[in-house]
Structures are given as C-alpha cells and as structure tokens.
Amino acid sequence: MRLYNSLGRRIEDFEPATDNVVKLYSCGPTVYSFAHIGNLRAYTFADTLRRALLWKGWQVEHVINITDVGHAVAEAELGDDKIELAAARERRSVEEIAEMYTQAFFADLDALNILPAHHYPRATQYVDAMIAFAERLADRGFAYEIPSGLYFDTSKDPGYGRLGLVDVGGQLEGARVEQVPGRRAKTDFALWRAEAPGQIRAMRWDSPWGWGAPGWHLECSVMSMKLLGEHFDIHTGGVDHRQLHHVNEIAQSEAYLGDGRPWVRFWLHNEFLQLGAAKMAKSAGPVLTLQELQKQGFHPLAYRMFLLGGHYRAQLEFTTDGLAGAQATLRRLIRRTAALGRLPSVGTLGEARALASDDSAAVAVIDQLDQAISADLNTPRVLAVLQESLRDAVLSEHGQRVVTAASGAVLGLPFDRLEPADVEPAAEQLSQSDQAVVDELIAEREAARTARDWARADALRAELSELGVQLTDTPTGPVWSRITP
C-alpha cells in the first residue's frame, strides 16, 4: 500500500506499526449545523482509506471525534461560541443542539454507506483528561498563562510547523491572525480558553486557569491517545487542517510525550470540494446538504460515486451535471449487476483472488483493481477498471460477479443492494450526462453488431429502452428518440 504522507509530502509504503491492526483517527465535525456536502468529502475519503486497508487484509480501528464543545472558528481563540450561538438562534439548549446535529451527521454517514467508526468520542466527555494533558504541558514549560487562558508556547518546539511547511517567522505575519493580548507569538495557541471577566459560557468547566473551555486542538490529541494509544498509524482530515489544526496537534502531542518520536507516522489530507469558484465553507451563505441533493432527486450514493470519480488529493468542482453523470454511471452498474444475479461476499484481495482462481482473466482484473487502490487510493482508476472489464466481455459471468463484488467492497458501493429504480433521474435532471450515457450505449451496441454479437446488441437495445430511448437502425446508422410516456 502506497500512500501520500503530508509529513514530508511524498508517497511512502505503508504498514501498520503493530499487530496487523491499523489505528486510524479522523477529525470529526463540530455539531452546530448540518454538514454541507464539502464536509462529507472528508469522511467519504477516510472511509475509502479504511476500505482499502481492509482490502489489503489488515484490521482497522477507527475513531472520529464529535466536537460538541463549541469553538469560535478554527483560527480564532476568542469570540463567540458557535454551538452557543446556534442554541440561542434555535431556542434550544447547547446539549440539544449538539445531539441533534450529531444524529444528523450519523444519518449522513449511513446514507453514504460509510462504515461506522469504532469510537465517536464526544469532547465534553474528555474535559478532565484535557485539563490533565494541559497541566503536564504547563509543568514541562511548554505553556504560559495570560488573561484569555493557557497558551502553548510554540517557540519551545523547534520542529513547529513542519507538517504545514509553516514559515513561522514570515507566512503567518501576513495572514489574518487575530490579536490576543499577551500572546507571545502569533503561532501560539490556546490550550484553555478562560472566560472573559463577566462572561459565563453555557458550556463551562473549572480548571487551574479558571472557568472556561478547552482549546479546539487539544481534544483531538487527548481523545486519539486515550482510544488508540500514545502513538498510532494514520491521522486524516481536510487539507484545511494541514496548516494549523494538525500542526498544533503535533506540537502539543510531541511536547506531551517527550519521547523524541513522531507522534503519528502518516498524515493524509483530502482536497476541497469546489462549488463555483468558492471553497465550500459554512460561513459562506446557504449550505448544500445531502438532504438537499436528495430532494433534487439524487441518491446519496450518486454523490459518493461522484466523489470517487476524482482522486482525493485533487480539488473537485461540484456541478449538478457532474452529479447526474455519476448517478447515470451508478445506474448502469446496478443494471449490469442485477443481470448477474447474486454477488459473492468479498472483502479482501485474498478472498477475491481465491474466488476468481479458476478464471485467469478475472484474476488479472482483480490485480489491476488492487494496483489502482494501492497506488494512493486511485479510485477513478478502480472505476475505470470495473467498467472496462464489464464492457469487454472477456470475463465469465462468475468472473464478472467477483470483479463487481470486489470493486463494490473497495469503493463502498453496494451494487447488488440497490435497485435501478433507486437511482432513476428526476425529470428535470435529464442532462448532457444522460445524453453521454445514451451515446456510449449506442456505440457499444454498434461494436457488438460489428462483432456479430447479436445477443449483446439486443441486451444493449433493451437497456436503452429502459432508459426511455427508442432506437431505429437506418442505412446511415442508428438514430434514436426519447419515448414519450
């Protein structure tokens, strides 16, 4: 398995450190609103990574944290607490807000066929451990206290910023960094956010540094170590975490451990989803949620298919046409699968090879799938291999079943658990992408006719007719029209 490690910015061979079990931590949501589809890319990516590791025959222990302590915004130490603001806006308690959006988050993960994490630690349940962690940092001289709380002293960490390639002296000077009175360096960050005089937070805890709340970065260090051990294999998150949140997690964790070893060996980051030209952020106006896509007639797994059509380290431009195209591709694969009958249960490369053993062509395709997913999770290539192998008709039916099941396992797309009707396009959604699918089917049928494969040509005509397309063969080639209901 080859993975791109943000620490060092290069592709490296991956093996778990111990026991054949990969310990994986993914930064989770702050639960004050519905996740927008850009946020969901991070969890789909982490799930793809997890499925690839399982495919290689390892076990995985996965943690996704739930940030139910509201923090202002990622970069800000001061200012209003977002969960408290949401509670005030929606006239609910902070606990109700956090619970409601946590459940909504789980529903999104389920709809995207994301394997449940083994642990979903809530930050509010680890505050004592966070205070103990911060006390040890203070005891070791890595922290100082100012009126707004306890701050990590980044000047004490000679390796500070390595992950983010942060130019401590220069880059951050120009960035939009808030002024915190008494803070010694702009890179120093809050371990504990003390209440301002007269302020009483809705969520507050007593600490050696007064009443207040833990810093945002602290929770991931503390909860990951509690659940996965002091050192673990892989930490994931959106690429926006690479410059700050993960830099700070590393600084405080390595100061806390003090053993001279890297805290986590592999750091993997997914790129953004672009909507129009702007990065999708919760603060940038109306949010596009998975539920909203469903209202527009899209299946949640069409969105998963759309994401898998791009490499996780490439920015992806979200368009309705692109999503409709992904849904049309998914629909075709579901139809093909339905014609194959029941798929075997396949989870790993070893199982797939064993099941395909009588069919050397299928073994070769399985190996191509493996090479693609092992090359830093090249999901577009996995999809291409699957589609080519079904199109070329070189595989036996059994071989096609094994290849389809193996691809489904790697991609997290349960082709045989879906009906074509689940992914029918809504009328208003017929688009250029559907046109492209029709063109492709017609071209395939022409190829089958040229090869005098009449059964296949008939099957493709039937498939077109299911799409509402009527085909007429003329001396100059086929023409088609849409069957009007």
Binding site for Zn ion (CB under 5 A): 27, 220
Min separation Cβ 205 and Zn ion, Å: 19
Contact 80, 72 (CB under 8 A): yes
User: In this structure, are strands 212-214 and 189-194 parallel, antiparallel, or unpaired?
Assistant: antiparallel
Min separation Cβ 314 and Zn ion, Å: 23
Min separation Cβ 251 and Zn ion, Å: 13
For residues 6 and 235, what is the distance between their CA atoms, to the nearest angstrom?
A: 10
Provide the 10 A C-beta neighbour count for residue 249.
27
Beta strands in 55-157 (DSSP E): 59-64, 143-146, 149-152
3-state secondary structure of 265: strand
- Of 42 and 356, CB closest to Zn ion: 42
Say how many Å lie between the first and final Cα of the chain, rounded: 51
* Token duo for residue 272: 């953004």
Min separation Cβ 246 and Zn ion, Å: 7
- Of 27 and 457, CB closest to Zn ion: 27
Min separation Cβ 237 and Zn ion, Å: 6
Give backbone dihedrals phi and psi of 155, rounded to 5 degrees, phi first: -70, -15
C-alpha distance from residue 88 to each of 178, 213, 284 (Å): 25, 18, 20
Contact 59, 96 (CB under 8 A): no
Min separation Cβ 85 and Zn ion, Å: 21
- Of 3 and 250, CB closest to Zn ion: 250
Nearest of 230, 162, 158 to residue 6 by alpha carbon: 162
Those residues with Cβ within 8 angstroms of residue 163's Cβ, 6 or more apart along the chain or in another chain: 6, 7, 242, 246, 247, 250, 267
Provide the 10 A C-beta neighbour count for residue 245.
20
Those residues with Cβ within 8 angstroms of residue 462's Cβ, 6 or more apart along the chain or in another chain: none
- Of 220 and 273, CB closest to Zn ion: 220
- Of 65 and 431, CB closest to Zn ion: 65
C-alpha distance from residue 28 to each of 22, 64, 170, 398 (Å): 18, 5, 30, 40
- Of 121 and 425, CB closest to Zn ion: 121
Min separation Cβ 220 and Zn ion, Å: 3
- Of 39 and 329, CB closest to Zn ion: 39
- Of 163 and 220, CB closest to Zn ion: 220
- Of 27 and 413, CB closest to Zn ion: 27
Please give the single-letter amino acid code of residue 345: S
User: In this structure, are strands 469-474 and 477-482 parallel, antiparallel, or unpaired?
Assistant: antiparallel
For residues 201 and 80, what is the distance between their CA atoms, to the nearest angstrom?
A: 10
For residues 148 and 189, what is the distance between their CA atoms, to the nearest angstrom?
A: 11
- Of 112 and 220, CB closest to Zn ion: 220
Min separation Cβ 225 and Zn ion, Å: 12
Min separation Cβ 20 and Zn ion, Å: 26
Please give the single-letter amino acid code of residue 421: A
For residues 332 and 127, what is the distance between their CA atoms, to the nearest angstrom?
A: 50
Min separation Cβ 266 and Zn ion, Å: 15
For residues 340 and 356, what is the distance between their CA atoms, to the nearest angstrom?
A: 15
Please give the single-letter amino acid code of residue 248: N
Min separation Cβ 142 and Zn ion, Å: 19
- Of 146 and 257, CB closest to Zn ion: 257
Contact 307, 53 (CB under 8 A): no
